[in-house]
Structure 1
Amino acid sequence: MKRRQFVKASLVGAAATSTVGITAPVIAQDVRKWKLVTAWPKNLPGPGVAAQMLADRITALSGGRIEVKLYAAGELVPGQGVFDAVSEGTAELYHAVPAYWGSKSKGILLFGSQPFGLRADEQFGWLAHGGGQELYDEMYGRFDIKPFLCGNSGPQWAGWFREEINSAEDLKGLKYRTTGLASEMATKLGMAAQAMGGGDMFQALQTGALDAGEFIGPWTDSALGFYQVAKNYYWPGVGEPASAEECGVNAEVYNELPEDLKQVVDFACQSLYNPVWTEYTTKHAQSLQTMVAEHGVQVRRLPEDVITAMGAAAAEVIDELRQDDDELVKRITESYLAYRDLVGGYMSYADNGQMNARAAVMGY
């Protein structure tokens, strides 16, 4: 090689090397490292698993431009502190359920579950097609949070009871773990409603500090071992016909994202809703079979007068929301009721009709 050609080639190579040296740190600096705080123990069957799925999906769909690291309840902040942590910017996002934030506003509770209210598919339908997302954004915007639904546990159970329930009178004075609007319904029935985590609920049932309690459903409940301390497992869980799981993102962090990464976060949440819900449904069914067959769990239906009393109490709860001093709470409530009545009327022909017909011929 002639000297002039060698020198030219060397300069080109040096320039290329220099470009790599400059570009690599710029790319690295473009990576956003997000902390996801959760209300759950790490990998708790159900919500803990779903939270990890959310972290992994945002990271994958962003091509690594957002790296999400999950912190279980208590690792960075307490489980009940994740909303405030994201609101204040201590963490970029959280995974929890709206039922935990009633102290912020009772209007928030309607986005998670409602006694005798929306099923999992209807809950998503209200937000996506019935005007619910705009109200969801408006309410959480007060706390500098951008909210998304990202899963659902499906129908929850009335829960674990140390003693059998024969009438609505038996509920009075009962120390009962529940959350959200179901807690207000229980209080109106004369129950002593208490909020606590799953581990604390187990200990309270074991010691008698609780008489009964509901957490989620067979998959999660069996993992927490409630069948070891209470054998009576009651349905239907009319307090929470479905319980939506949510992702809350710090609004400033979200608004600073380029448009494509905003779409990544949005799609990551939406794309998980159905897989999370159907995994719950499948594993609830499997876990219930195991608990009955291997652990002596007694599956019992709530007496009709109990369900009737719960319905009357739920109506009072909703009526109070309609009369709330907060104009936004009123608008959320009216929007929810309008959508419930719309799809409820249709479901009497559609899903309800199909389920009743299927039940009539099961076993063919």
Structure 2
Amino acid sequence: MTTRRKFIKGAAVAAPAALATPALAQSTIIWRMQTYAGAALAAEVVVPAIETFNKIAGDRMQIELFFADQLVPTGELFQAMQRGTIDAVQSDDDSMASPTEVTVFGGYFPFGSRYSLDVPVLFNQYGLKEIWDDEYSKVGVKHISAGAWDPCHFATKDPINSLEDLKGKRVFTFPTAGRFLSQFGVVPVTLPWEDIEVAVQTGELDGIAWSGITEDYTVGWADVTDYFLTNNISGAWIGHFFANMERWNELPEDLQALLEVCMEQSHYYRQWWYWGGEANLRVNGTKMKLTSIPDEEWAQVENAAVKFWDEIAAESETKAKIVDIFRKYNADMQKAGRPYRYG
């Protein structure tokens, strides 16, 4: 395992993502961006957007894209961007250890959303964007945009048919999701992203609660896990694009606008790629057997999320404001009824 890990890491840092670039002029602005995603996943969630940006920007500006942990560990992404070691980042707040009031809400905030469309509505219509912009401006980072990824499900070696089956399971997950799930006996484990497949194979991990089924197939985790739990603790991962504030302010307005447009296109691409992929692989996938925890038992997890929200809200005024937004949004969706919420 150690040998394979060293090989994977060695191969990963050999070069940035292979993006086609034109002949560059001496005046070309060069940015380095690192994503939270490994190479296979990045090919879907960020490479197309950066390729498009580089093609349009031409010799005015080019972005060199690096995958998970290539330049710095994911947990150090924020610090590296703040210092200017990295110009831009694609990540959730939680994974990159953002020192802001919003960190706990990045990634998978338990039951904060049911569908991927909830995320852009929360940011653009319910006020989260303004809060994120303000929090990151305080620490010298530009929050460019937020978008939705996939829901959070368990992929495991052993079948999960009840909450009892979760007890003692060593699971790779996000910090906040792990904090929440630990009350049900889950043992959160933190490892470099590229190590996860090997860790499941060797028994270091019992499973993964880091994605939906689309990513399980895309990155190879479906090859080393046997079961997929259809219950999830969140309908969509909340991720973002960020930039060092000084680097951002140095850009001409049209390049800033181009970055924003390309990143919004990236968010849109994921809306249908994940939404269709999740359904398709549940129906047609052949690598993992689907299991479910009965609704009446899973309600214990949903009820625990309400208490978890209260716990987070008690930590600060800003967190309380954000929790209130999540509460209002979900109450509005429930009142709106079908197709926004069922039951």
Mark yes or no: TM-score above 0.5. Answer: yes
Alignment of 1:62-73 (within 5 A): 62-73=57-68
Q: Look up the equivalent residue of 1:70 and give its one-letter code.
A: L
- Residue 255 of structure 2 corresponds to residue 255 of structure 1: no
Structure 2 CA distance for aligned equivalents of residues 327 and 41 of structure 1: 36
- Offset from partner CA, 1:89-125 (integer Å, 9 cap, x none): 0011011223314563462232443212222211111
Q: Quick one: distance in 1 between partners of 2:200 and 2:70?
A: 26
Q: Which amino acid aligns with 1:213?
A: I
The whole-number CA distance in structure 1 between the counterparts of 2:140 and 2:32 is 17
Residues 102 and 89 (structure 1), Cα distance of their counterparts in 2 relative to 1, 3 Å cut: closer
Pair 122,61 (structure 1): closer, same or farther in 2 beyond 3 Å: farther
Which digits, 9 at most, give the CA deviation of each residue in 1:256-312, with x for residues without a partner?
Answer: 2232222222222222211122122233444445532xx3x2111123354122112
What do residues 214-251 of structure 1 show as CA deviations (whole Å, max 9, x unaligned)?
Answer: 232223212333334331211121x2210133111111
Select the residue among 126, 132, 140 that pairs with 2:128.
132
- Correspondences of 1:227-238 after superposition (within 5 Å): 227-237=222-232
1:335 is displaced (CA, Å) by: 2.5
Q: Distance in 2 between matches of 1:187 and 1:124?
A: 29
| Paired residues of 1:178 and 1:215 also in contact (CA < 8 A) | yes
CA deviations 1:121-174 (Å, max 9, x no partner) are 1111111121111101122223321123354323232x1222233432332322
Query: Is the 2:38–2:194 Cα contact (8 Å) retained in structure 1?
Result: no
TM-score, length-scaled by structure 2:
0.83
TM-score normalised per structure 1? 0.78
Mapping of residues 246-285 of structure 1, within 5 Å: 246-285=240-279
Q: How do 1:1-80 and structure 2 match up within 5 A?
A: 28=25, 30-42=27-39, 44-45=40-41, 47-80=42-75
Q: Distance in 2 between matches of 1:52 and 1:106?
A: 30
Closer, same or farther in 2 for the Cα pair 1:194/1:82, shift >3 Å? same
2:319 pairs, out of 319, 329, 340, with: 329
User: Quick check: 2:155–2:209 contact (8 Å CA) kept in 1?
Assistant: yes
Match of 2:307 among 298, 316, 324: 316
Residue 93 (structure 1) aligned to one of 72, 75, 88: 88
Supply the AA of the counterpart residue of 1:35. R
Cα displacement string for residues 167-216 of structure 1 (whole angstroms, at most 9, x for unaligned residues): 32332322222114321220122221223344422222222222222232
Closer/same/farther in 2, CA of residues 274 and 31 from structure 1, 3 Å limit: same
2:35–2:65 Cα contact (<8 Å) kept: yes
Tell me the residue number matched to 1:153.
149
SS in 2 for 1:120: coil
- 1:215/1:221 contact within 8 Å kept: no
Aligned-residue sequence identity (percent) comes to 22
Q: Which has the larger radius of gyration?
A: 1
Residue matched to 2:292: 301
Q: Which amino acid aligns with 2:327?
A: L
Indicate conservation of the 8 Å contact 1:54/1:272, yes or no. Answer: yes
- Contact 1:132/1:336 (<8 A) preserved: no
Whole-Å Cα distance in 1 between the matches of residues 244 and 98 of structure 2? Answer: 19
Aligned mates of 2:291, 2:186 — CA distance in 1 = 19
Maintained 8 Å contact 2:107/2:174: no
Task: Confirm or deny that 1:162 pairs with 2:157.
Answer: yes
Give the match for residue 13 of structure 1.
Answer: none
1:61 to partner: Cα distance: 4.3
Structure-2 separation of matches of 1:132 and 1:165: 35
Q: Distance in 1 between matches of 2:127 and 2:61?
A: 29
The two structures, once aligned, show a CA RMSD in angstroms of 2.6
Q: Is the 8 A contact 2:169 2:187 kept in 1?
A: yes
The whole-number CA distance in structure 1 between the counterparts of 2:76 and 2:147 is: 20
Count of paired positions: 319
2:38/2:193 contact within 8 Å kept: no
Structure 2: state its 5+ residue gaps. 1-23
**Structure-1 separation of matches of 2:155 and 2:248:** 40
- Residue 338 of structure 2 corresponds to 349
